C-alpha cells in the first residue's frame, strides 16, 4: 500500500485535494439542479473520505514531525504563506472529519427539504474550513479558516434549525467571534515579537514558536487571548452556554459536525497553539491549576446537568461538555498517556456523540419530538434502533471493549501520575455518564409502551443503516484494537510534551531544540 501511495506521489497532493475538492463540489452544487445537490455532496464527501484513507498508510509515525508539507507564498511582503502539513494528531482529526462528512450528508437526505443546494454547498465549504484548521502551519491561514467556518455554520443553524434558531445562530457566531478577534491581536503580538527577534517576518508556526519572546506579563495576556478563543470553542465551563442552544437548534447534520469536529478545533487549538506557545503561563503557576479545575468542574457539571435534561438532544449536548473536559484535563496533565488519551477522546467523542446525534435525529424525523417523556418502551417497536442506540450509548459511557473506554482510561491513568486529585474526581464522571445515559435509555426504550403514537414507529431504513453501520464498526474496532491508532499518535504526543517541557523553565529555547525544524521560508 505504501509503495502504491508513494508511486502516486500521494503525500504531495493529498492536502490540496482534501482542501479544494469540497470547494469545487460546492460550486458544482450551485450550478446543478436542486434535486441533484445531495447526490453531488455525497459523492464529493465520499471521494474525499476515500482519498483521505490513504493517510493511514502514508503517515509514517517514525518519520519527520510534520509530513505532507505544502508551502507557497501568499502575501509575500508580509510573510503570509499558504503553509500546510500534518502530524499524527492532525492526521486523525482530518480522518475524523472526512469520515463524518459523508455520513452527515447522507443523514440529512430526508431531513433537509428546503433550499437544498444552499445546505449542501455550505456543508462542503464547512469541510474545507475544518480540514484547513487542522492542517494550517501558518497562523494567518489558520486564523482565516477558523473564522471562515463560522459563516456556513451560522447559516446551517440559522436557516435549517429548529424554533429557536435565530437566537442560537447569532449567539454561536458572536461567542466564537469574541474569542477569535482577541486571538487575532495576540497573533499580531507574536508576529511582531518574532519578527523583531529574528529580523524575519513570518506567521509560520515553527518560526513564531522559536522566536516569539514576550515578557511574562504580555505572555499572560496573549495566552489569555488564545485560551479564550479555544475555551469558547471547546467549550469549557463557564463559556459553554452557546453549546446547548446551538446543538438543540441545529439540524442533525449540523449537530453532528458541531460536536464531532468543531468542538475538536478548540481542543486542537489548545494542544497546538495555546500550550506550546506559552507553557510557562499555561502549565506552571496558578493558571494551570485554574484550567485543570475548570476542566474537572466541566466534566462533573456537564454530567450532572445532563442527568436532569428532559430533551435527549440537550442531554447529549451537556454530555459533550463533560467529555471535552477529559480532553483538556489530558492536555494539561502533560504525560504521554494523558495526551494520547486526550486525542483518543477527541476521536471517540466525535464518533460516539456523532452517532448519538444521528440517532436522535432519526427518531425526531419520525415523531417530531426529542422529549424523553414522549417515548417509553419503544424497543419493542424499533428493535434495531434500540440495539444500536444501546451500543452507542455504552460506547459513550466508556464501556471496556468499545471505543469510549480507551481514551478516558488513558487520560485518567496519565493524569493520576501528575494530578491524582483531579483524576480521582474525574473518575466519578464515568459513573455519572453511566447514570444519565442508562437512565435515558431506560425511560426511552425499555418497559411497556406508554404512548399509543409510538406503536406504529418504523424501524431503521436502509439509508439509516448505511449511516449507522460505519459508525458502529469504528466504535467496535477502536474499542478492540486501539493499538495501531495509539502507535501513530504517540510520537506526536511525545513531541508535544518535550516541546512544552523544554520551554517550561524559560521561554527562550536554547541549544539543541526538539522543536520542529524551521521550514525553509519561501521567498
- Is residue 475 within 8 Å of residue 350, measured between CB atoms? no
Least separation, in Å, of the C-beta of 278 and other proteins?
Answer: 17
- DSSP SS3 for 520: coil
Under DSSP, is residue 229 helix (H, G, I), strand (E, B) or coil? helix
- Least separation in angstroms between residue 197's CB and other proteins is 14
Nearer to other proteins, 10 or 242 (CB): 242
Cα angle 439, 292, 493; round to 5: 95
Collapsed DSSP state (helix, strand, coil) of residue 1: coil
Is the CB of 181 or the CB of 304 nearer to other proteins?
181
Q: Closest distance between other proteins and the C-beta of residue 23, in Å? A: 11
Q: CB-wise, 151 or 307, nearer to other proteins? A: 151
276-315: b (≥16 Cβ within 10 Å) or e: bbbbbbbbeeebbeebbebbbebbbbbbebbbebebbbbb
- For residue 160, the minimal CB distance to other proteins (Å) is 10
Q: Which is nearer to other proteins, 192 or 481 (CB)?
A: 192
- 492 neighbors 87 (Cβ within 8 angstroms): yes
Q: How far is the CB of 385 from other proteins (least distance, A)?
A: 32
Nearer to other proteins, 196 or 463 (CB): 196
Half-sphere exposure of 208 toward its Cβ, with a 13 Å CA cutoff? 23
Nearest approach, Cβ of 181 to other proteins (angstroms)? Answer: 4
User: In this complex, which beta carbon is closest to other proteins, that of residue 207 or of residue 323?
Assistant: 207
**Residue 138 carries which DSSP code?**
B
Nearer to other proteins (CB atom), residue 59 or residue 134: 134
Q: Which residues contact 113 (CB under 8 A, 6 or more apart)?
A: none
Asked if residue 124 lies in contact with residue 43, where contact means CB atoms within 8 angstroms, the answer is no
CB of 134 to other proteins, least distance (A): 17
- List contacts with other proteins (CB under 8 A): 75-78, 143-145, 147-148, 150-151, 154-155, 158-159, 165-166, 169-170, 173-174, 177-178, 181-182, 184-185, 188-189, 191-192
CB of 370 to other proteins, least distance (A): 22
Nearer to other proteins, 145 or 318 (CB): 145
CA distances from 393 to 167, 471, 486 (A): 30, 12, 23
Write out 64-131 in H/E/C secondary structure. Answer: CCCEEEEEEEEEHHHCEEEEEEECHHHHHHHHHHHHHHHHHHHHCCCCCCCCHHHHHHHHHHHHHHHH
Amino acid at each position: 500500500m505504501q509503495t502504491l501511495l508513494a508511486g502516486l506521489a500521494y503525500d504531495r497532493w493529498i492536502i490540496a485535494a482534501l482542501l479544494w475538492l469540497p470547494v469545487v463540489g460546492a460550486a458544482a452544487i450551485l450550478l446543478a439542479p436542486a434535486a441533484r445537490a445531495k447526490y453531488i455532496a455525497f459523492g464529493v464527501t465520499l471521494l474525499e473520505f476515500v482519498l483521505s484513507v490513504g493517510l493511514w498508510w502514508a503517515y509514517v509515525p517514525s518519520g519527520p514531525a510534520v509530513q505532507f508539507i505544502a508551502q507557497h507564498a501568499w502575501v509575500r511582503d508580509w510573510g503570509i504563506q499558504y503553509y500546510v502539513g500534518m502530524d499524527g494528531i492532525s492526521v486523525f482529526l482530518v480522518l475524523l472529519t472526512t469520515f463524518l462528512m459523508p455520513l452527515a450528508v447522507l443523514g440529512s437526505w430526508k431531513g433537509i427539504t428546503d433550499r437544498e443546494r444552499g445546505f449542501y454547498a455550505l456543508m462542503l465549504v464547512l469541510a474545507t474550513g475544518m480540514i484547513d484548521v487542522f492542517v494550517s502551519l501558518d497562523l494567518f491561514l489558520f486564523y482565516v479558516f477558523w473564522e471562515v467556518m463560522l459563516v456556513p455554520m451560522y447559516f446551517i443553524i440559522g436557516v435549517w434549525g429548529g424554533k429557536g434558531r435565530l437566537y442560537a445562530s447569532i449567539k454561536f457566531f458572536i461567542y466564537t467571534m469574541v474569542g477569535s478577534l482577541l486571538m487575532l491581536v495576540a497573533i499580531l503580538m507574536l508576529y511582531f515579537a518574532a519578527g523583531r527577534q529574528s529580523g524575519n517576518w513570518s506567521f509560520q508556526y515553527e518560526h513564531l514558536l522559536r522566536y516569539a519572546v514576550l515578557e511574562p506579563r504580555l505572555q499572560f495576556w496573549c495566552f489569555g487571548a488564545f485560551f479564550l478563543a479555544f475555551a469558547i470553542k471547546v467549550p469549557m465551563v463557564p463559556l459553554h452556554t452557546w453549546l446547548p442552544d446551538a446543538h438543540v437548534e441545529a439540524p442533525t447534520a449540523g449537530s453532528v459536525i458541531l460536536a464531532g469536529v468543531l468542538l475538536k478545533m478548540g481542543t486542537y487549538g489548545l494542544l497546538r497553539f495555546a500550550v506550546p506557545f506559552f507553557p510557562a503561563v499555561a502549565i506552571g503557576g496558578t493558571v494551570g491549576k485554574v484550567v485543570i479545575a475548570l476542566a474537572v468542574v466541566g466534566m462533573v457539571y456537564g454530567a450532572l446537568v445532563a442527568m436532569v435534561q428532559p430533551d435527549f438532544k440537550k442531554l447529549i449536548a451537556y454530555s459533550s461538555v463533560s467529555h471535552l473536559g477529559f480532553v483538556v484535563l489530558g492536555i494539561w496533565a502533560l504525560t504521554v498517556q494523558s495526551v494520547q488519551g486526550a486525542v483518543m477522546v477527541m476521536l471517540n467523542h466525535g464518533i460516539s456523540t456523532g452517532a448519538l446525534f444521528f440517532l436522535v435525529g432519526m427518531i425526531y424525523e419520525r415523531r417530531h419530538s426529542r422529549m424523553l417523556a414522549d417515548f417509553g418502551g419503544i424497543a419493542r417497536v424499533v428493535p434495531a434502533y434500540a440495539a444500536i442506540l444501546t451500543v452507542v450509548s455504552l460506547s459513550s459511557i466508556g464501556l471496556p471493549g468499545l471505543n469510549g473506554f480507551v481514551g478516558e482510561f488513558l487520560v485518567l491513568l496519565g493524569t493520576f501520575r501528575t494530578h491524582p486529585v483531579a483524576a480521582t474526581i474525574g473518575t466519578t464522571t464515568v459513573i455519572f455518564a453511566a447514570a444519565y445515559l442508562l437512565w435515558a435509555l431506560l425511560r426511552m426504550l425499555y418497559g411497556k409502551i406508554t404512548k399509543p403514537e409510538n406503536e406504529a414507529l418504523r424501524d431503521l431504513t436502509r439509508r439509516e443503516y448505511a449511516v449507522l453501520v460505519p459508525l458502529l464498526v469504528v466504535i467496535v474496532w477502536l474499542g478492540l484494537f486501539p493499538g495501531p491508532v495509539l502507535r501513530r499518535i504517540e510520537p506526536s504526543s511525545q513531541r508535544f510534551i518535550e516541546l512544552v517541557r523544554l520551554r517550561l523553565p524559560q521561554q527562550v529555547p536554547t541549544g539543541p531544540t526538539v522543536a520542529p525544524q524551521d521550514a525553509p521560508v519561501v521567498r
